[in-house]
Structure formats: structure tokens, C-alpha cells
């Protein structure tokens, strides 16, 4: 018996699942706890800063009140006095601001009138350039944000708060505080949880091994007994450790051993019948008794007939095969040729082939019949498509050849001497020749795509520009009565494709849209990125496609309006070739249409984002 690898054993799987459950639980708890701790620490830090800023704000408001109350003093003198007093207040207040890098006071005109930072004293009297200060002055609302100081590689919390005096905004208090210690604490807490998780996993592993051994030991003994039974040894017994589910299984296994030993004697009498059945087990097999009632049906046969095995037992084979209207059991015994069983529905073709063989004893007595079923649906479909393909090719070639033969015969009878009709005959002959060349070239393309001989030559392409260039080329040659509209994303799309193949696909779709668009109609072009792929759509306002034909337009030689398609020079292979090329790129192509309103042909191409966003710093 083949030896189990460690990762295939139940022992390993139990331990692994047990550890994964504990690991997932620990990770969920840790993630939730750390998130809550981080939120609370940040909140406490910010609240402590706000409380101290409120005290500073009260002091500054007192200074402004005192200055405003001075009589016989000009506005400029009041402003200068306020700046001096505010700077003194901030200098005395700076010692109590732990973890605060700088507090800056800006007046209503946007000019810095005080700062606690000795390094930034030169800013006093200058206009504040920070956008947060300007927004606060403009909107009269408080703003705050956590930013990254790239110079020190630390996070800082920046807050701008309006400075109000008697409900009148007189300036802004701007605070830059170092919040990095809070995140350092969060990191330390996370480290503690990681260590705890590792310790818990170690304990879990030991407990899992012990638990797995208690479960797998009886199973291992039963496996050894099963191996012994395959070698003909029925004397061994499985030890029963308890009356739980595994113990009951062990008891049932011992009972099974005795019954198998008893049944061994009766196997020889059925060996010839089983040998006949097993010889046909590659496909669906049905065996009957001498009355034609099914006594054995294998799973492939049940799946083919879409019936449960137990439901087929004891029923007539002709009834189960759905051929009872044409065949009886006696007739099946005499049937030498295979019987075709058509189980097709309106939505799906389904055809089986059945071969019948009588089961005879050595005396010649017929003991039943064996039916071997083969699913030939795919073969029938291929044969039908091949016949249809040959007929289509013959028809497509016969039409231009007949036309050419007629015109050439007329030219041979002397029409070439008539200078009025001879050029027309020659032009028609040339057009039909070019049509046959296009048809043969399209067939060769499909042949190469089907055989895999066409390899994609991929290059990176700026698809926005690439798509626009193709549209530009068609726009130059279109009729003036047809309008082009573009809805192309401005997002930069760099994609790896075979340019020639995709050009052919888009050319085919645009050509069809142009052919079937009425005068005054509009053809719309769409390009957008959708996750890991890009979507291209081309919409016309033509006659549309019936709903029951939407899935067929990508079939070879299929035309919705055959007469009009041939008149416009189509071969009926353009969309079939397009589908093969899109499939080769790993994309999808489909059609949406409403009759008398137009058609949308869409396809997708795989897209990988090669552009990495650069991280912006805080200034």
C-alpha cells in the first residue's frame, strides 16, 4: 500500500486546522484590541493638547481684552502692544507644553504675531504661508490632521483653531505636536500580542498533537486491518477503545470483516458476470436480468441518462433508455448495430450511442443483456459544424464564381468590344475576385488561429493614443452623414498587446458599425479601466440584432441580414476572427443590442498596473 505523506495524513490536518483556528482567533482579537487602543491613545493625546490650548487661548483673549480697553491709544499701538504681550504669554507658556513642538499665533490679517519656537522667531511679523491657517481664517472652522515629517521621519499632529474674542475671530492658534510616541506605544503593545500569539501557538501545537493522536490511532489500526483484508487475512480484530463514534466504527469494522469473509464464498459464482460488466467500464454500463429489468447501472450511465442509480433499478432497460416506443427487450437481444438515442431538448443537444450484448451461460441460456453507452454529442456537433462549414464555404465561393463566369462569358462573346459595358464587366469581375481573396485570407487566419500557429507579438502600448489613432483613421474615410463621439478615459493606460491583432479586431467592429449606421447616425467609442482589465465598447445606431441571434454573431459565416451583408462585401468571418484574437489575449468579447436602436460590441483585455504611486511628504 502506498505510504501517506505527512501533509496527507489526518493527524497533520487536525493539528493544522486546530492551529489555524487559534491563529485566526488571536489575529482577530489582536487587530480589534490594537485598533481600539490606538484610537484611544490618539484621542487622549489630542484631548490633552486641546485642554492646554484652551488655557493658552484664554490667556491670549485676556491680553487682547486688556489692550482693547486702553484708551487714547492708536490701533497700531494697540496691535504692537498686543504682539509684545502675546509673545510674553507664549514664552512663559512654552515650558508647560509637553510633546508640543511649536505654538504659533496668527492675527486676523494672516500675520504671525507670536511663536513658542526659538528657531522660528524670524517668522514673527511675517505672513503665514500654511494652507491650514489660511483655510481656518477663511472658513472660521477648526482643522487638524496627522502628517509625516520626512526630515525627522516622525508623525506630527497639526491643529489650527480660530482665536475668537466676543464671537469675533481675531486670529488663529496653530499647534504642531509630536504624536509619534503614541504610535510607539501602539507598536510595543502589538509586539506584546505577537509574542503572546507565538506562545499560544506553541501550546496549541502540543495540545493539537495530543488530540490528533487520540483520534488517528484507532483509524490507523483500522487502516492496517483493511490492508490485511486485501491480502486475504480476516483473522485480525480492531481494538475498541471506547463506545464513541470511532469506537462504534471499529465495532462495525469487525462485523464487516466477518461478513466479508462469509461473502467470499459466493463471489466465485458471480465472477463471470462481473468480468463481462467490468470489461465495458470505460463508458456507461447497464446490465439486466433475463426479463430485461435493470439490476446494475454504473455511475457514468446514470449521469448520462440523468437518473439516480436507485431509481433505475428493477425498471425496463428500454424504458430507462427512452427507446421503448421502437424497441422491446427481445428486439434488443437481436440488435447487432449500435442504437442512437436522441435526448436533445430545445436548449441543448444531447445524443448517446448504445451497443447491446447478450449475457449467455455456457449452456447458451440468455441470462440478460449488457448495454454500453457512449456520449456522441460532441462528435455529432463537430460533424454538423463541418457540414455547415463546407456548405457555407461552397456557397460563398459559388456566388462570386457564378457572377464571374457570367461576365467573363459575356466578354468572351464580344462584350469586350463595347467600351461602355466592358469596363463595368471587368470591374465586377475584379470586385468578385477581391471578395474571394478576402474570404480565403479570412479562412487562412482562422485556420492559423485554430491550429495555434499564430503567435502573439506583444508590445507595451499607450492604449488611449492607440485607440484614438484607429478612430482617427476611420473618421477620415467615413461618410459625412455619420458622426463619431468618443468617451475615452483620461487615465494613462499602458498595456501589453499584439498591436496588429487588436487593430484588426477594432477595424472589424468599426467597419461593421459604419456599414450598418443610417445617415445621421452616431457611432460612440468607449474606453475605461475596470479593475484588472480594460473595457472597450463601440456603439452604433443601426438596425440592431434580434435577441436570439446575439450569441450567434461570433460564429463563422453567420449574418443577421445575409443579403445586405453580401452586398456590402462582408465574408461573415470578421467577428469570428475577432473573437479568436481576443480569446488569444485572454480577454472576452460580447454583443448587446436592441432592434431598431443599435448594437454595442464590447471586449476586454487583461491589464496590469505597472505604475507605483509616489508617497508625498509633509512640509
pLDDT in tens, 435-480: 677 666 766 666 666 666 567 778 899 999 999 998 988 888 788 8
Domain with CATH 1.10.287.130 in the chain: 380-438
From residue 9, alpha-carbon distances to 5, 16, 224 in Å are 7, 11, 14
CATH of domain 13-185: 3.30.450.20
Query: Rounded to whole angstroms, how far apart are CA atoms 232 and 274?
Result: 20
Q: Are 479 and 509 in contact (CB under 8 A)?
A: no
Q: pTM for this structure? A: 0.38
Query: Rounded to whole angstroms, how far apart are CA atoms 150 and 177?
Result: 15
From residue 7, alpha-carbon distances to 201, 215, 283 in Å are 19, 17, 34
Could you please state the CATH topology (level 3) that the domain comprising 459-606 is classified under.
Heat Shock Protein 90 (3.30.565)
Q: What is the pLDDT of residue 486?
A: 92
Q: Residue with C-alpha cell 436548449?
A: 347
Residues 155-205 pLDDT 10s: 888 988 888 777 777 788 888 888 888 888 888 888 888 888 888 888 878
Query: Rounded to whole angstroms, how far apart are CA atoms 197 and 26?
Result: 6
From residue 534, alpha-carbon distances to 369, 538, 592 in Å are 58, 14, 18
Angle formed by the axes of helices 422-451 and 377-412, to 10°? 160
Q: Are 113 and 171 in contact (CB under 8 A)?
A: yes
Displacement of CA 546 from its chain's centroid (Å): 29
Which CATH architecture does the domain made up of 279-372 adopt? 2-Layer Sandwich (3.30)
How do strand 522-530 and strand 483-488 relate by DSSP bridges? parallel
Q: What angle do CA 436, 439, 443 make, to 5 degrees?
A: 140
From residue 553, alpha-carbon distances to 82, 497, 571 in Å are 83, 24, 12
From residue 282, alpha-carbon distances to 27, 336, 508 in Å are 50, 20, 46
DSSP state of 456: P
Q: What is the pLDDT of residue 611?
A: 44
Query: Rounded to whole angstroms, how far apart are CA atoms 23 and 204?
Result: 9
- Cell numbers standing for residue 103: 505654538
Query: Rounded to whole angstroms, how far apart are CA atoms 613 and 476?
Result: 38
Which CATH architecture does the domain made up of 380-438 adopt? Orthogonal Bundle (1.10)
Displacement of CA 208 from its chain's centroid (Å): 37
Residue spans of alpha helices (H) in 551-619 = 562-567, 574-584
Q: What is the separation, in whole angstroms, between the first and last Cα of the chain?
A: 71
Query: Rounded to whole angstroms, how far apart are CA atoms 479 and 499?
Result: 26
From residue 365, alpha-carbon distances to 269, 290, 361, 369, 484 in Å are 16, 9, 5, 12, 81
Q: What is the pLDDT of residue 619?
A: 36
Q: Which residues of the chain have pLDDT under 50?
A: 1, 279, 562-569, 611-619
Query: Rounded to whole angstroms, how far apart are CA atoms 131 and 137?
Result: 10
Q: Are 163 and 58 in contact (CB under 8 A)?
A: no
Enumerate the β-bridge partners of residue 598: 594
How do strand 589-594 and strand 533-539 relate by DSSP bridges? unpaired
Query: Rounded to whole angstroms, how far apart are CA atoms 237 and 229?
Result: 11
Domain with CATH 3.30.450.20 in the chain: 13-185, 279-372
- Cell numbers standing for residue 190: 502589538
Q: What angle do CA 506, 510, 511 make, to 5 degrees?
A: 115
Residue spans of alpha helices (H) in 413-540 = 422-451, 463-477, 499-516
**Residue 450, SS3 per DSSP:** helix
235: Cβ–Cβ under 8 A, 6 or more apart, which residues?
A: none
Query: Rounded to whole angstroms, how far apart are CA atoms 458 and 256?
Result: 63
Query: Rounded to whole angstroms, how far apart are CA atoms 277 and 577?
Result: 47
- Cell numbers standing for residue 198: 507565538
Q: Are 264 and 248 in contact (CB under 8 A)?
A: no
496 — phi, psi (to 5°)? -100, 110
Domain with CATH 3.30.565.10 in the chain: 459-606
Q: What is the DSSP string of 203-265?
A: HHHHHHHHHHHHHHHHHHHHHHHHHHHHTT-----PPP--SSHHHHHHHHHHHHHHHHHHHHH
Q: What is the pLDDT of residue 488?
A: 92
565 — phi, psi (to 5°)? -65, -45
Q: Residue with C-alpha cell 456522441?
A: 376
Amino acid at each position: 500500500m502506498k505510504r501517506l505523506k505527512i501533509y496527507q495524513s489526518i493527524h497533520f490536518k487536525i493539528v493544522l486546522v486546530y492551529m489555524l483556528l487559534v491563529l485566526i482567533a488571536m489575529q482577530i482579537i489582536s487587530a480589534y484590541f490594537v485598533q481600539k487602543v490606538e484610537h484611544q491613545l490618539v484621542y487622549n493625546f489630542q484631548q490633552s493638547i486641546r485642554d492646554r490650548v484652551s488655557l493658552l487661548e484664554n490667556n491670549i483673549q485676556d491680553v487682547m481684552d486688556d489692550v482693547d480697553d486702553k484708551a487714547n491709544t492708536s490701533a497700531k499701538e494697540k496691535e504692537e502692544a498686543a504682539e509684545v504681550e502675546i509673545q510674553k504669554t507664549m514664552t512663559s507658556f512654552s515650558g508647560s507644553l509637553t510633546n508640543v513642538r511649536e505654538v504659533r499665533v496668527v492675527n486676523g490679517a494672516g500675520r504671525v504675531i507670536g511663536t513658542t519656537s526659538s528657531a522660528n522667531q524670524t517668522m514673527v511679523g511675517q505672513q503665514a504661508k500654511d494652507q491650514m491657517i489660511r483655510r481656518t481664517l477663511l472658513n472660521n472652522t477648526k482643522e487638524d490632521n496627522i502628517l509625516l515629517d520626512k526630515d525627522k521621519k516622525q508623525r506630527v499632529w497639526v491643529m489650527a483653531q480660530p482665536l475668537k474674542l466676543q464671537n469675533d475671530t481675531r486670529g488663529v492658534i496653530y499647534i504642531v505636536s509630536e504624536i509619534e510616541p503614541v504610535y510607539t506605544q501602539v507598536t510595543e503593545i502589538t509586539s506584546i500580542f505577537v509574542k503572546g500569539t507565538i506562545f499560544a501557538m506553541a501550546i496549541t501545537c502540543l495540545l493539537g498533537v495530543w488530540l490528533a493522536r487520540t483520534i488517528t490511532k484507532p483509524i490507523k489500526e483500522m487502516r492496517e486491518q483493511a490492508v490485511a483484508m486485501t491480502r486475504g487475512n480476516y483473522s485480525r480484530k480492531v481494538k475498541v477503545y471506547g463506545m464513541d463514534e470511532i469506537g462504534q466504527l471499529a465495532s462495525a469494522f469487525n462485523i464487516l470483516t466477518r461478513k466479508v469473509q462469509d461473502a467470499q464464498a459466493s463471489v466465485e459464482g458471480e465472477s463471470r458476470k462481473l468480468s463481462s460488466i467490468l470489461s465495458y467500464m470505460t463508458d456507461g454500463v447497464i446490465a439486466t436480468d433475463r426479463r430485461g429489468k435493470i439490476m446494475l447501472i454504473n455511475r457514468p450511465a446514470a449521469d448520462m441518462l440523468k437518473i439516480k442509480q436507485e431509481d433505475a433499478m428493477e425498471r425496463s432497460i428500454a424504458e430507462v433508455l427512452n427507446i421503448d416506443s421502437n424497441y422491446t427487450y427481445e428486439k434488443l437481444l437481436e440488435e447487432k448495430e449500435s442504437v442512437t438515442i436522441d435526448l436533445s431538448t430545445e436548449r441543448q443537444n444531447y445524443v448517446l450511442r448504445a451497443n447491446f450484448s447478450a449475457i449467455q451461460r455456457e449452456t447458451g441460456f440468455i441470462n440478460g443483456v449488457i448495454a454500453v453507452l457512449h456520449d456522441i454529442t460532441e462528435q455529432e456537433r463537430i460533424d454538423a459544424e463541418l457540414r455547415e462549414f463546407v456548405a457555407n464555404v461552397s456557397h460563398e465561393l459559388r456566388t462570386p464564381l457564378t457572377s464571374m463566369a457570367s461576365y467573363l462569358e459575356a466578354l468572351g462573346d464580344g462584350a469586350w468590344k463595347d467600351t461602355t459595358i466592358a469596363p463595368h464587366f471587368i470591374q465586377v469581375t475584379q470586385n468578385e475576385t477581391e471578395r474571394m481573396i478576402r474570404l480565403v485570407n479570412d479562412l487562412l487566419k482562422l485556420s492559423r488561429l485554430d491550429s495555434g500557429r499564430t503567435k502573439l507579438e506583444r508590445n507595451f502600448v499607450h492604449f488611449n493614443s492607440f485607440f484614438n489613432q484607429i478612430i482617427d483613421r476611420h473618421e477620415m474615410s467615413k461618410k459625412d452623414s455619420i458622426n463619431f463621439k468618443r468617451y475615452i478615459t483620461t487615465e494613462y493606460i499602458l498595456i501589453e498587446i499584439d498591436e496588429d491583432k487588436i487593430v484588426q479586431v477594432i477595424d472589424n467592429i468599426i467597419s461593421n458599425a459604419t456599414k450598418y449606421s443610417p445617415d445621421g447616425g452616431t457611432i460612440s467609442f468607449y474606453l475605461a479601466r475596470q479593475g484588472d482589465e480594460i473595457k472597450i465598447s463601440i456603439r452604433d445606431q443601426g438596425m440592431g440584432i434580434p435577441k436570439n441571434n446575439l450569441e450567434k454573431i461570433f460564429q463563422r459565416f453567420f449574418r443577421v441580414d445575409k443579403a445586405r451583408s453580401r452586398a456590402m462585401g462582408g465574408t461573415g468571418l470578421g467577428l469570428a476572427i475577432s473573437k479568436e484574437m481576443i480569446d488569444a489575449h485572454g480577454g472576452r468579447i460580447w454583443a448587446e443590442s436592441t432592434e431598431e436602436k443599435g448594437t454595442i460590441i464590447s471586449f476586454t483585455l487583461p491589464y496590469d498596473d505597472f505604475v507605483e504611486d509616489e508617497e508625498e511628504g509633509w512640509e
